[in-house]
Amino acid sequence: MNEWITLSLKRTDVGQILDGLEVRHNQWRDTADYLRTGISPHPDFIAEEANDESEAQALADWYGRIIQTIRKQRDLQKSLDSHSENFPVLPNGEPLSCFCIFINTFFQGDVPVERNETDNFVVYETREAAEREIAAFAIDRLHEYLAGERDFDDAIHSDEFVVHVHLNSDGSISDKTGRIFQQKNW
C-alpha cells in the first residue's frame, strides 16, 4: 500500500533535495551504462551494487520519477506564487482585463476575497491562474483535514469562484455589472 506524505519546505531546501537526488540518479544511470557496455563513464566512477543492468536502470528511473514529481510541484507552486503576488502595471491608465477570486456574502453579495500584503486586490492574468489558486486553497483545506485540523465537510466545500473584472488605474476593480470595489471599502 502506497502512503502519501505531504511536506512543506523552503524553496532552497527543495533545491538541496533535488541536488542530492540528481547525484543518486546519475550514479544509478552510470551503473546501468557500465553494466551494459563495460566502459567506465568517468575516471573516478565506482559502480553501485546491482544484480544486473535492468535493476540499476530501474533504480535510475525511480530516482528520475521522484525528481520529476518534485520539480513539477515546485514549478506549479512558483507559478501560483508569482500570480498571486504580481500587481499588474496598467498601460496608459486604461482598465486592465483580469480575473479575481470572489465569494458570495449575505449582505454585500459577490465580493473579491483576496488582498495582498499592501492591501491591493489580488488579480490574475488568466481565468486558469485564478482557478489554480482556488485549487491550491482546496488542497490546503484537504491537508488540514488529513492533519485533523478541519472536519471533512468544511475541507471539501468551497465558496470561492472566479470573476472577470477590470482593474482600474486607482487600484479599484469593477465587475461586469458595473459594481466598483475600492481599495478600502471592506
pLDDT tens, position by position, 107-142: 888 889 888 777 778 888 889 989 998 998 888 888
Find residue 122's DSSP bridge partners.
Answer: none
Average pLDDT over residues 157-167: 91
pLDDT band for position 171 (50/70/90)? confident
d(CA 101, CA 107): 18
Quote the pLDDT of residue 37.
94
pLDDT band for position 89 (50/70/90)? low
Quote the pLDDT of residue 90.
60
Quote the pLDDT of residue 136.
87
11-37 and 53-85 helices, crossing angle to 10°: 160
Quote the pLDDT of residue 24.
96
Average pLDDT value over all residues in the chain? 84
Quote the pLDDT of residue 69.
86
d(CA 59, CA 169): 55
pLDDT digits (tens, 9 = 90+) for 140-161: 888 888 888 888 988 888 889 9
d(CA 120, CA 87): 8
The length of the chain is: 186
pLDDT digits (tens, 9 = 90+) for 10-64: 778 888 999 999 999 999 999 999 999 999 999 999 999 999 999 999 999 999 9
d(CA 81, CA 86): 9
> For residue 170, what is its C-alpha cell?
486607482
Quote the pLDDT of residue 93.
65
